[in-house]
Amino acid sequence: MGDELQPADGTTIEQPAIPADATWDDLPDELERRCCPGEIRNTTVYKALVPMLDKNSPTGASVAYTYKRGNDDTYRGSSTIAGLIDAMNDPEDWPVVGG
């Protein structure tokens, strides 16, 4: 990734790239990300597994691999760990530069 996040207080937080072969346990428990496109403020997001319906699963259910905000809103999620990592490493999909 190599991009840096500029928090509202002016300090810089390096956002390292997540390796494509990372497992769920390898992903950080929390991250700082820009809150919303076009905004300067940042938000802390927390790793969470979320149950979901899945008509292709033998049980009819599966989980989504997500990062959620403190208010429990899902900030970013995917049905696969690889999909979540792709989003985390793509600054167009998941902003890593504030402002």
**pLDDT by residue (tens digit) across 30-75?**
987 777 666 667 778 899 998 888 888 888 888 889 988 888 888 7
Q: What is the pLDDT of residue 81?
A: 93
User: The whole model's pTM is what?
Assistant: 0.70
Nearest-CA neighbor of 88 among 10, 28, 43? 28
CA distance 73 to 75: 6
DSSP line for 54-82: -TTSTTSEEEEEEEEETTS-EEEEESSHH
CA distance to 16, 65, 91, per residue, from 3 (Å): 8, 23, 8
**pLDDT by residue (tens digit) across 12-25?**
455 678 899 999 99
Q: What is the pLDDT of residue 22?
A: 95
Handedness of CA 2, 98, 7, 20 (dihedral sign): negative
Q: What is the pLDDT of residue 6?
A: 52
Q: What is the pLDDT of residue 31?
A: 83
Q: What angle do CA 7, 27, 61 make, to 5 degrees?
A: 115
